[in-house]
Chains A and B, each alone.
Chain A
Amino acid sequence: SVAKSESDISITPSAQELLQDYMSLLKTRLKTEELKQFALLLRQYRTSISVREFCIRLKDLYREERKFLMAGMRPFIPEKDSQYFESFLESIGVDGNGI
C-alpha cells in the first residue's frame, strides 16, 4: 500500500471541531497584531525554525497571563516534536488541559 502524503490526509470531524474551538479561543484572547505575529510564527515553525525556538517565541507572545493557551496547542504539534513540547510545558508550569 502507498503511504498517504500530508495533503491526502483529511482531519476527522472531532479534530475539525477542536481546531475551530482553538481558533475561537485565539480570536477572543489575542489582539489583531498578536494574531498576525502568531500566524508568522506558525509559518516559520512549519518551514524553518526549530520546535525549541517556536516554543520560546510562543511563550513570549502569549506571555505569563495566557501561557495556558500553550497546552491547547498539543493536538497541533507534529509527533516528532511532541516530546520536547511536553517537556517545555512542564518546565513553564503548564499541565493538564490548560484551556
Chain B
Amino acid sequence: MDEKEALNSIKNDLAAGMKQSAWHKSHSSAKSSSQTDVRVKFEFQGEKRIIQVPRPVNFQDLQSKVKTAYGQLLTMFYTNTEISIPILNQSDLEKAIILLDHNPHMKSLRIYLCKENPTPPGSPQGPPHG
C-alpha cells in the first residue's frame, strides 16, 4: 500500500464510520443545528458575555456585535481546553462552528477577545488555553 492508497482507504473508512455515527444522524435530520441559533460566549479582560447568533453566522456581523458590546473592534480567538485559533475571516469562523457542531459536549462557541495586534496565544497577554 502506498501513501495515496492509504489515504483513500482512510477516507473511505472514516466516511463509512461517519454514516453510522450519532453526530451524522443529528446533523442530517430535519431538526439539524442549521435551524438553530449559535450560542456565543465572549470573554474580554475577565468579563464574560453570552449572545445568541442566528445561523449562518457571519464574520462581519459577529465583529459588529463585538464592537457594539465593547465599544471597540477586538480580535477574536476561538478557544477550547487545548488550543486558541485566531478568527480573522469567514473561513476561520466556519471552521470554528464546525468544531463546535461536532462536539456534543460543547454548548457555546467560546471566543476570547483581544485588542488589535494580538500577541500569540500562551504569552502573558495572549488568550489562555482552557
Contacts and interface: CB of A to CB of B under 8 A. Distances in A.
A18 B19 contact: no
A97 B99 contact: yes
B22 A82 contact: yes
A97 to B, nearest CB: 5
B107 to A, nearest CB: 12
Contact of B14 (A19, A36, A71, A82): A19
Interface range on chain B (Cβ under 8 Å from partner): 35 or more
Contacts, number: 114
A35 to B, nearest CB: 5
Given A14-B27, A95-B81, A97-B80, A79 B20 contact: yes
B17 A78 contact: yes
A37 B26 CA distance: 31
Q: Tell me if A's interface is mostly helix, strand, loop or mixed.
A: helix
B13 A19 contact: no
A74 B99 CA distance: 11
A42 B10 contact: yes
Interface range on chain A (Cβ under 8 Å from partner): 35 or more
B15 A11 contact: yes
B20 A78 contact: yes
A49 interface: no
5 contacts: A15-B18, A42-B14, A79-B25, A82-B21, A97-B99
